[in-house]
Structure 1
Amino acid sequence: MPVRRALRLVRRYWRVLVRYATRYTAPVRRAWRRSLQLRVVAITLVASSLLVGTFGWFIADRSAEILLSRAEDEARSALTTKVEFARKQLSLYPQARDPELQSGLEELVNALFDGDPADPGSAVISIRAEGWPNLRAVAVRPVDTRDLITPEMIRAVSGDGGGVSKQIRTAEIEGETIKFLVYGSPVTTRFGQVELYYMVPLTSEDQDANLMRTTVLATGLALVILLGVVAGLVTRLVVTPVRVAARTAQRLSAGLLDQRMKVDGEDDLALLAAAFNQMAANLQRQIVRLEEMSRLQRRFTSDVSHELRTPLTTVRMAADLIFSERDEFDPAVARSAELLQAELDRFEELLTDLLEISRFDAGFAALDAEHTDLVPIVERVAERLAGLAERVGVEIQLNLPDTPVIAEVDPRRVERVLRNLVGNAVEHAEAKPVQVTLATDDAAVAITVRDHGIGLKPGEERLVFNRFWRADPSRARQTGGTGLGLSISVEDARLHGGWLEAWGSPGEGAQFRLTLPVRAGDRLVAAPLPLIPRDRNVEVS
């Protein structure tokens, strides 16, 4: 249990840490994603820091090795001279018991010393006679050499087959910590063997190495900063025109077709700016030409629709007269009168839809919003389409709230949208029920129309709102639609600031969802009803 509690505590603190880290690093991450110049400069600084750091470390380390090697060569050369001098001086004493040998060793050390005894950084010379009890070790100064001359080094110098040995040691002399290069060598005399230790301070070499490291570090830091500045300047030269091009492209996409980039010089960026300006000019000409063609097309559609109204009214009067007298005609003529009446109805509906589309295209469509209860509208649409549903064997099922659903909408346009949706659902239901569901929340109201017919293929949920598009053009019409109903419906939804969406799956039917804001002008965020029906996997009989 304590382990589990500890793990839970660690996980909790870890989540808190991650949350705070994410919150406080968000501006940096956002700047990293948005700024190409920042990324280039940062990568340049990191790469140059690694390169300069590695090179500087190599230079400093190599320089320190050279300084140490030079000090070793000088110390070894001096040691050789001093060993030869000591051997000659000690050859005057034929035996170790000579009472003057001890004083001779002290005089020899003083003779070998070539520094200032008062300087704690001077070299230290010591002679030891490990095999002679009557002789004690002597040094040029009263310095404790136990930290400098280790037992391992003494054995390496004085043992059988001993020779020259070296090591680097650090000792505290007169309160100052000094690093020494210690050399030891045996000295063969007439009475036996003694050891000569030559301890050279490495103070100057350490100072030179530290100075070199500081110089390399300062130079490397200055070089990295310089590279960062150069990278920033170079990137700025490239990024600035790109940013200008991006801002110009944004203005062009916003409809400001006269925006152009400034062309300076004859380099690649100037060629880019000139090519961008040429592209913008071509786009402007094409857009203006297409807008003019679209305007002429809308005007043609509107004019034709209006001009057809007058002859259509005359033909309608004549057709109504013939249709009213059809019982007195022979069966073939009576059938022709019925067909004429039906096609005139479709033609008049097509003209009405064309006029409505032309008003949307021209931007003249206006929303006459008022506070309206949507429940009666849905019931009225279902009632008007009940005859058609009964003829094709479809049941319209209403799922409506028990309380009024009030929204600020244009009732005429909402009823037209529902009439199109329910009519299309009945036409495609294939004798299966059609469900109409109404729901609302504080911000939006949604109406779904669900059928269980042939459904929609993948991708067709976006095509159904195109003008004159049909999922199956070969299928016999039941409602005599014009192919513009859903196009007008989606424009009506957009005029309200709402959504009209479709879902469908082959063999599972389709569902359309109309979502409108409760208050006119509000922005929709979510819909009270799902677009994909919950019963999509339920078999409907």
Structure 2
Amino acid sequence: MWRRSIQVRVVASTMALTAVVIGVVGWFLLQQTRDGLLDDRVDAVVAEAANETREAQERLLATPGTDADAAGQRVQLVEPIVNRGEARGFAVVLAATTEPGASLSGAGGTQFTPGLDVASVPPALVAHFAESPDPAWSYTRMRQEDASGRMRTMPAVAVGSQVELPADGESYTLYYLFPLDDEAETLALVQRALLAAAVLLLLLVGGVTFLVTRQVVTPIRLARQVAERLAAGRLQERLRVSGEDDLARLATSFNQMASNLQAQIRQLEELSRLQRRFVSDVSHELRTPLTTVRMASDVLYDSREDFDGSSSRAAELLQKELDRFETLLADLLEISRFDAGAASLETEDLDLVEVVRRVVDSTRVLADQRGITLAVDAAGPVRAEADARRVERVVRNLVTNAIDHARSAPDAPDALGDIVVRVAGDEHAAAVAVRDYGVGLESGESAMVFNRFWRADPARARTSGGTGLGLSISLEDAHLHGGWLQAWGRPGAGAQFRLTLPRRAGHELRQSPLPLVPADAGAQR
């Protein structure tokens, strides 16, 4: 889906980017809300702690005392603050000012709210008052017993300020610890609200993106479907045009292109039909005069010994060219049957090895004239359901074509001969490969070699007297069997043609028992 659907990629990418943007904005808003809540809370608790300290100092000054009642003054100082703290939700610790580096403990006359862990006062704040009498505050973690007697830990703000007891003239430090439970709950509520809003916004963005991309992707999908139907031959298919936007103009242009293609294809089909009809008609019409010419040529050929030298040679040339002309007519008629779809198979259980040996024996004279050695490489019978006439014609075309292009040399890469015909089979397919060590094929010629009348070297003479249609007819014969006919070649390394047929008629081929590229492909002649 990710690779095939633009809509999926656009929606997913948009939602991913939106999630990143929402995350960044949400984090920024959360930080601003947190800082605002804490700043307001700190200002409030610092002011409240200053008021408590000022009232306590005024209360102590209004009550004269001596060294004997210093402990009483500490209690008198702390108890009202503790009572108000229990009612208003904060805790208090009264401790003597320590030396720098000393820690705060619950002993030594320290007064504090019941249930409070004195260690909740941050050491940094204690160290501050060991060096300076100025009020200060700090964030901390406050530990205090709840109503059930369990210790609770919560975020808090610790505010400290110093007072002086009239009884002994010593400075003591009041530490106020204000829990941040309300702020934490507010921040959690904001977090939940932001999360819910982010999820809802993400879904809305995804839905909107889906709907928007659908308006663009749907016409593209319709155009793809119409293009596929056009490619399948349904040339009358057109896109429905609605509106005047860019997509509508694209649909109009597409329809115009389809109409032009349809007209061109119909014109080409008509030209092709006329061409096939012309070839078929000419081939049939030439049969009658060719028969007459053949009869006259036979008479002249049989009487050539009674002629002078030049006339006798002319009779022989006439007979030879008439043979070639008849072969060309037969090939043209066969091609016209393929074009008309009138070709049919007469299948039988066939041993391809026997067919190959029969073809090699019949073409050995031609090979000997050129000094070419032919060899058959087959381990045993290879049977397949095929048309014997057509298969033999394919093999004959491949072998004679190899003879035309092979070279004779004593250092042949294949010890079997200059041309080797291999036959092999497996459970599903049977194959015949014809390997020669001639001029080979240039890049791209392995596909062009099956074109009608195509020749790699137009100046090269045809030793076998071919018509230029042999490989084209062979390819059609292979396709008629549901098989393959493929070519491989390399300049200077020769060529190999491979015919692959299904063992059972109508079965689909998946692989060939013989490789297309021979094992000795690197050998050079």
Same fold flag (TM > 0.5): yes
Q: Which runs of 5+ in 1 are unaligned?
A: 1-30
- SS of the residue 2:269 aligns to: helix
Structure 2, unpaired ranges of 5+: 100-105, 410-417
Partner of 1:329: 307
Aligned to 1:72: 42
Conserved in 1, the CA contact under 8 Å of 2:46 and 2:137?
A: no
1:125 is displaced (CA, Å) by 2.9
Provide Cα deviations, 1:11-56, integer angstroms capped at 9, x if missing partner: xxxxxxxxxxxxxxxxxxxx22222222222212221111111211
- 2:405 maps to 428
Q: 2:509 aligns with which of 500, 516, 524?
A: 524
* Residue of 473, 477, 490 corresponding to 1:488: 473
Report what 1:4 is aligned to.
Answer: none
Question: Which residue matches 2:337?
Answer: 359
Report the equivalent of 1:142.
114
Matched, 1:202 2:180: yes
- For residues 107 and 351 of structure 2, the distance between their equivalents in structure 1, rounded to whole angstroms, comes to 125
Aligned to 2:6: 36
Amino acid at match of 1:413: R
CA distance in 1, matches of 2:440, 2:237: 47
- Give the one of 292, 298, 304 matched to 2:270: 292
CA distance in 2, matches of 1:193, 1:116: 22
2:396 to 402, 405, 419: 419
How many angstroms apart in 1 are the aligned matches of 2:504 and 2:107? Answer: 115
Letter in 1 for 2:405: H
Q: Distance between the aligned counterparts of 2:107 and 2:186, measured in 1?
A: 44
Aligned runs of 1:450-489 on 2, under 5 Å?
450-489=435-474
User: CA RMSD, aligned part only?
Assistant: 2.3
2:142 corresponds in structure 1 to 170
8 A Cα contact 1:102 1:135, kept in partner: no
How many angstroms does 1:188 deviate by?
A: 4.0
Identical residues among aligned pairs (%): 47
User: What SS class does the counterpart of residue 200 from structure 1 fall into?
Assistant: strand
Distance 1:287 1:131, change over 3 A: closer
User: 1:130 deviation in Å?
Assistant: 4.5
**1:271, distance to aligned residue in structure 2 (A):** 1.9
Deviations, residues 363-409 of structure 1 (Å, cap 9, x unaligned): 1111111112222221221122122111111111112334x322110
The one-character-per-residue Cα deviations of 1:117-158 (angstroms, maximum 9, x if unpaired) are: 3x5x7122332235799983334x42324132245432322x
Match of residue 434, structure 2, among 436, 440, 449: 449
Distance 2:422 2:217 in 1: 54
Code of the aligned partner of 2:126: I
- Matching residue of 1:229: 207
| Aligned partner letter, 1:186 | Q
Instruction: Report whether the alignment pairs 1:122 with 2:89.
Output: yes
Secondary structure class of the residue paired with 2:237: coil
Q: Is the 8 A contact 2:85 2:92 kept in 1?
A: no
The answer (yes or no) to whether the contact 2:163–2:172 under 8 Å persists in 1 is: yes
TM-score of the two chains, using structure 2 as the length reference? 0.91
The answer as to whether partners of 2:242 and 2:248 remain within 8 angstroms in 1 is: yes
Question: Do residues 344 (structure 1) and 330 (structure 2) align?
Answer: no
Tell me, yes or no, if structure 1 residue 406 matches structure 2 residue 386.
no
Contact 1:67 1:205 in 2 (8 A): yes
Asked if the contact 1:169–1:182 (Cα under 8 Å) also holds between the matched residues in 2, the reply is: no
The alignment covers a number of residue pairs equal to: 504
Aligned to 2:156: 180
Contact 1:127 1:196 in 2 (8 A): yes
**TM-fit CA distance, 1:113:** 6.0
Shift of residue 161, structure 1, vs aligned partner: 2.7
The one-letter amino acid paired with 2:504 is R
Q: Secondary structure at the match of 2:172?
A: strand
Structure 2 partner of 1:104: 73
CA distance in 2, matches of 1:131, 1:447: 105
Supply the distance in 2 between the matched residues of 1:135 and 1:372 (Cα, whole angstroms).
Answer: 115
Match of 1:11 in 2: none
* Cα separation, 2, equivalents of 1:241 and 1:199: 67
| 1:297-325 alpha-carbon deviations (Å, 9 max, x no partner) | 11011011111111111111111111111
Which residue identity lines up with residue 128 of structure 1 in the other structure?
A
- The question of whether the paired residues in 2 share the 8 Å contact of 1:97 and 1:134 is answered with no
